[in-house]
Each structure stands twice: as structure tokens, then as C-alpha cells.
Chain A
Amino acid sequence: DGGITQSPKYLFRKEGQNVTLSCEQNLNHDAMYWYRQDPGQGLRLIYYSQIVNDFQKGDIAEGYSVSREKKESFPLTVTSAQKNPTAFYLCASSRFTTYEQFFGPGTRLTVL
């Protein structure tokens, strides 16, 4: 089955530590995205990538980093510079020629 996988489902981090969230898709989609969801805030774009080895900052990129070495993978690193990292993180992908974005199941990150 084609789809988007995110791991882990739950992640706990101590303050001052970097942590990497995984996102993999087998839909052969060109574009991939990371969103952050907070209660009452909807979804906000962190980073997006339209092609391998290229990515752009979204609306709230500070304290985050990404890489896109493979078409299928778009990992997100939450660095110690992110002031309030506790949130639900959603990865999405889409084809250039269509406009729907398909979402993974999400990762809940909690900073202890």
C-alpha cells in the first residue's frame, strides 16, 4: 500500500537535546512538507521541499532543520534552539501536477 509513514508516534526529549523525526513516502511524490500543530492554532508550515537536495523555510522555521537526500525521505530535526518544541508534527507530500497534500499519521513530541 502506498502512503506516508512517520516515526516514532510518540517522542520524549530532554531540554537541550536535538531530536530527529522521520518521514517516508512511497507515493513517488515530488514535494514534501512539515507542519506543526498546536491546540487552537491549526497547522503551520515549518519547511517544504519541492525536489531532492532542495528545501525552503516555511512560516515557523526557526529552531528546525531538514534534509532531502532522497525523494522518499524528508527528516525533520528539532534543535535545542526551538523555544517551545512540544507539539504534534505532521508530514505531508504532494505531486507537482496535482494539488492535494496527503498526510502522515503524525509524531507527538514532548519536551520534559
Chain B
Amino acid sequence: AQTVTQSQPEMSVQEAETVTLSCTYDTSESDYYLFWYKQPPSRQMILVIRQEAYKQQNATENRFSVNFQKAAKSFSLKISDSQLGDAAMYFCAYRTENSGGSNYKLTFGKGTLLTVNP
């Protein structure tokens, strides 16, 4: 079974600075997807960024980028120029690429609570 580990329960960053959130995962598969979701105080889950395992290039979305290290099974999220609105719980998630059965489900880490200090 796949597992996702977020080793940092809490992180803090100064406004306008850069912060990196860590995520590692365990899988025997070669094809899969990885995601970072953001959950602000409203508790609405919002997709931040996704990465296909077959792509060597790291995904970027504006101020958000990932460092995907497939061999190390590592998938960290970098937030540049942090803003107050970035304060939230961040979840790393894994999904297999194989179709059928329960393979559409997401396996989540336990989350990292990010605080942004003004």
C-alpha cells in the first residue's frame, strides 16, 4: 500500500520570504501522480499543484513550485514571496496512474500547518 509522509507538522515563514514543505512517499509503482492541496481556515480543499511521475520537469504554478525527486520518492513544495493568504494546512497526496478498482483514490499525508508572519 502506498503511504505519504509529511514530517513537518508545523512551519512558519515571514511574509515575502520563501518556505519549503516536505513530503515523502512510498510506492512500488512507476506511474503515478502527486499533488499538493491547500486547506485554509474555511476548510475548503484547493488544488495547488500537480506532478506526473513520468515528467522529469518540475511543475510550477506562479509562486508555487515543486522539487520532484523520483528516485528518492520526495515531493517538496516551495512557496516563494509568501503572502498572508498562503497561511493554511497543506496536504501532499498520491494517486496511482493505473486505472480500475480503487485506483482513483487519493492517499493523503497528515498535513503541514503553515503560518505566515507579517
Chain A contacts to B: CB under 8 angstroms: 31, 33, 40-45, 48, 50, 56, 58, 88, 90, 92, 94, 99-103, 105-106
B47 contacts chain A at the CB level, 8 A cutoff: yes
- The residue of chain B having its C-beta at the shortest distance from the C-beta of A103 within the complex is B45
**Which chain B residues numbered 72 to 97 have a C-beta less than 8 Å away from chain A?**
91, 95, 97
Sample 8 A-B pairs with CB under 8 A, ordered by A number. A40-B110, A45-B102, A48-B102, A48-B104, A56-B101, A56-B102, A99-B95, A103-B45
Given contacts A88-B43, A103-B44, contact A42 B102 (CB under 8 A): no
Known A88-B43, A90-B45, A103-B45; judge A43-B104 contact (CB<8 A). no
Determine the distance from Cα of A45 to Cα of B2 in the docked complex, in whole angstroms.
Answer: 14
Q: Which residues of B pack against A, CB within 8 Å?
A: 4, 9, 33, 35, 37, 42-47, 50, 91, 95, 97, 101-102, 104-106, 108-111
> How far apart are the CA atoms of A88 and B43 in the complex, in Å?
9
Are the C-beta atoms of B45 and A48 separated by less than 8 Å?
Answer: no
B104 contacts A31, C-beta separation under 8 Å? yes
CA distance A94 to B109 in the complex (A): 20
Cβ of A58: which chain B residues have Cβ within 8 Å of it?
102, 105
Shortest B8–chain A CB gap in Å is 13
Q: Which of B4, B101, B106, B110 contacts A101 (CB 8 A)?
A: B106
Count of CB-CB pairs between chains A and B under 8 Å: 52
Residue of A43, A56, A90 with most chain B CB atoms under a 10 A cut-off: A43
CB distance from A49 to the nearest CB of B (A): 10
A100 to B33, CA, bound (A): 9
- Label chain A's interface by main secondary structure: strand
Which B residues touch A45, using CB under 8 A? 102, 105-106
B105 touches A48 (CB 8 A): yes
With A100-B35, A102-B47, A105-B43 as contacts: A42 and B111 at CB distance below 8 Å:
yes
CB nearest to B111 among chain A residues: A42
Contact yes or no, A42 B108, CB < 8 A: yes
